[in-house]
A and B are shown apart, each in its own frame.
Chain A
Amino acid sequence: MGSIPAVRTTPAWPAALPESPWALQRTDNLLEVSQLHLWRGDRHLLRGLQFSVAAGQLLQLLWPNGTGKTTLLRCLAGFLHAEQGEVRWQGTNVEKDRDAFHWDLAYLGHESALKGDLTAMENLRLSCALRVPQKAERLRIALEKVGLGSIDPALPVRSMSAGQKRRVALARLSLWHARLWLLDEPATNLDAAGQAVFGKLLGAHLSGGGLAIVATHRAIELAGTANRFWVAPQEVPQ
């Protein structure tokens, strides 16, 4: 794994979470997908997909609209059942222990999953309470990192702009200690500054040993990372 810098500026992944026996396995390819087939009614949406993603890599799905980007991400997350094929995380089939896989996973869909009547801080606090409860200070730092440090703390999320809401969702991503990020059009509604923030967040995640699969209609340029592009579902990812 020569592409990972020796000096890490972000906290390293915990060497072994008390509950997770997988951390002891060291595989280069953390996520392996083999012969994935999925039908939805009559339509054969995913046709024998075969790929793997290693630590520190970003796989961008640049497929045309309607060819199954969202379907693939939702299938990997576990919402959709694949008729054939296997998804392996850290060497183990995800069907064997879904909860452990989900603990390592952060999914961001089209909807940001934010409650409009709560403030950003409240949203973050309660989201983290489902995973690893965080102190208010860390939540504030996370909000600052996405450029929302100066907003009114009592402002409910529904009064924010679409771009600000998306940034709150990104802040949430950085607070979860999830190794695999599955992001579906994460940069929607983000202005140029927002996209820069997202790029930084993603870069920090990848250089810390995480991996990400991002469905996007515009390629993300990130320096210093193993950046892979997958332009069309029939072709092999580059």
Chain B
Amino acid sequence: MSLRASSPAAAMAVLRRDLLLAARRPGEWLQPLGFFVLVTVLFPLAMDPEPSRLRMVAPAALWVSLLLASLLALEILFREDSRDGTLEQYALSGQSFTALLLAKTATHWLLTGLPMVLVGPLAALSLAAPAAAVPGIALALFLGSLSLSLIGAIGAGLTLGTRRGGALLSLLVLPLVAPVLIFGARATAWAIAGEEAAGALYLLGAMGVLALTLAPLAAAAAVRISME
């Protein structure tokens, strides 16, 4: 008789399953990325696209787009698994529920957050950011998107099973991720201006670590309650 799977192995199985599902249905996961690009493009269209002005607006445009696209993506994080009973089976598997949900959040970030991190610098370049700012911008987006996914998962868990989750999700998540938005935009602005962005980046990293330790517990609690 083989021994039962350990929690990390089970979490990897969940990760593999979600990636496999995403491969079968790519459209669902490309939508947030498309939305991200779309909103970023709207800013130069809506204003006088003179380069120095664009450069000033670029941090705000990038981060608002990131936030909105992430909120869009968060709606589908748990929805499907909640509907077909998979989340219930995860809760009954005898494995750490928090670990399994963290695996789901990780896949979610790989499919929605990471593409935005890769496309973000390109979008920044289109908003007249200098090429030297790209590493700083990419790092800020990377750290920020991690926190957005982790904290957003709490909101996704809380709104599971409510009728019109989307608007409520945004209302709940916004106050929680505001610090990420503020410091991420600040780091981006400093990178674009060629100044030292380390302070803001360290803060972003600290927020990410804090989110990694606390947010999955809150998200797991919220999801468990939704199954009652």
A interface with B by C-beta (< 8 Å): 11, 14, 17-19, 77-81, 99-100, 102-103, 105, 107, 109-118, 122, 126-127, 129-134, 156, 177
Q: State which of B2, B3, B92 has its C-beta within 8 Å of the C-beta of A78.
A: B92
- Known A122-B20, A129-B9: A113·B95 in contact at CB below 8 Å: no
CB of B184, distance to nearest CB on chain A (Å):
34
CB of A46, distance to nearest CB on chain B (Å):
14
Q: Are B1 and A14 in contact, with the CB atoms below 8 A?
A: yes
Q: Are A126 and B16 in contact, with the CB atoms below 8 A?
A: yes
In the bound assembly, the distance between CA atoms of A132 and B93 in angstroms comes to: 10
Q: Are A80 and B95 in contact, with the CB atoms below 8 A?
A: no
Known: A115-B86, A131-B5. 4 other contacts (CB 8 A): A102-B92, A113-B86, A132-B3, A133-B9
**Chain B residues with CB below 8 A from A110, complex form:** 85
CB of B9, distance to nearest CB on chain A (Å):
7
**Chain A residues with CB below 8 A from B10, complex form:** 129-130
- CB under 8 Å from chain A, chain B span 52-95: 83-86, 88-95
In the bound assembly, the distance between CA atoms of A18 and B6 in angstroms comes to: 13
For A99, give the chain B residue with the smallest CB separation.
B94
**Contact code string B3-25 (vs A, CB < 8 Å = 1, else 0):** 11100011001101100110011
For A169, give the chain B residue with the smallest CB separation.
B85
Q: State which of A18, A99, A113, A131 has its C-beta within 8 Å of the C-beta of B84.
A: A113
**Chain A residues with CB below 8 A from B14, complex form:** 130
Q: Are A18 and B228 in contact, with the CB atoms below 8 A?
A: no
The reply to whether the CB of B38 lies closer than 8 angstroms to some CB of chain A is: no
B interface with A by C-beta (< 8 Å): 1-5, 9-10, 13-14, 16-17, 20-21, 24-25, 83-86, 88-95, 100, 227-228
For A176, give the chain B residue with the smallest CB separation.
B93
Subset of 21 A-B contacts with CB under 8 Å: A18-B3, A77-B92, A79-B88, A79-B91, A79-B227, A80-B228, A99-B94, A109-B88, A110-B85, A111-B88, A112-B85, A113-B84, A116-B84, A129-B9, A129-B13, A130-B10, A132-B3, A132-B4, A132-B5, A133-B5, A133-B9
Chain A CB within 10 A, most for which of B2, B94, B100: B94
Q: Are A131 and B91 in contact, with the CB atoms below 8 A?
A: no
For B24, give the chain A residue with the smallest CB separation.
A117
In the bound assembly, the distance between CA atoms of A71 and B14 in angstroms comes to: 28
**Chain A residues with CB below 8 A from B1, complex form:** 11, 14, 132, 177
**Chain A residues with CB below 8 A from B16, complex form:** 126, 129
In the bound assembly, the distance between CA atoms of A99 and B4 in angstroms comes to: 12
In the bound assembly, the distance between CA atoms of A14 and B2 in angstroms comes to: 10
In the bound assembly, the distance between CA atoms of A156 and B228 in angstroms comes to: 30
Q: State which of B24, B88, B89 has its C-beta within 8 Å of the C-beta of A118.
A: B24
CB of A34, distance to nearest CB on chain B (Å):
22
In the bound assembly, the distance between CA atoms of A77 and B89 in angstroms comes to: 10
Q: Are B93 and A102 in contact, with the CB atoms below 8 A?
A: yes
In the bound assembly, the distance between CA atoms of A80 and B93 in angstroms comes to: 16
Q: Are B94 and A100 in contact, with the CB atoms below 8 A?
A: yes
Give the 6 A-B CB pairs with smallest separation, nearest first: A111-B85, A129-B13, A113-B85, A103-B94, A102-B94, A117-B24
